[in-house]
């Protein structure tokens, strides 16, 4: 996953084992698609674009997805 993040060519830092911060001009959908392709099907991924108030998530429980959709802009 680190290689996928490095390939974006933007500033990034590993905050904890599986939490990364990235700063660049890429949107959540693009980053999510690329990083998810480098992950295993049993992994989980959440990508948040704080500058655009947007997010994408992959392989999380439906009830968590529903919660995020219902509360994202609440």
Alpha carbon dihedral 26, 32, 18, 44, in 10-degree steps, equals: 160
User: Distance of CA 33 to CAs 23, 39, 45, 70, Å?
Assistant: 17, 10, 10, 23
* pLDDT of the residue at 4: 87
15-73 tens-digit pLDDT: 998 899 999 899 999 999 999 998 999 999 999 998 888 999 999 999 999 999 999 87
Position 11 pLDDT exceeds 80 = yes
Q: How far apart are CA 9 and CA 46, in angstroms?
A: 20
> Where in the sequence is the domain holding 61, given as residue range(s)?
2-71
Q: How many domains does the chain have?
A: 1
pTM, whole model, 2 decimals? Answer: 0.84
**How sure is the predictor about 14, in pLDDT bands with cuts at 50, 70 and 90?**
very high
**Who's near 2: CB < 8 A, 6+ residues apart?**
14
């Amino acid at each position: 996953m680190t290689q996928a993040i490095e390939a974006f060519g933007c500033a990034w830092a590993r905050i904890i084992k599986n939490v990364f911060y990235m700063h660049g001009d890429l949107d959540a959908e693009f980053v999510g698609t690329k990083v998810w392709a480098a992950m295993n099907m049993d992994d989980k991924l959440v990508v948040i674009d704080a500058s655009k108030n947007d997010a994408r998530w992959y392989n999380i429980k439906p009830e968590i997805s529903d919660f995020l959709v219902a509360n994202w802009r609440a």
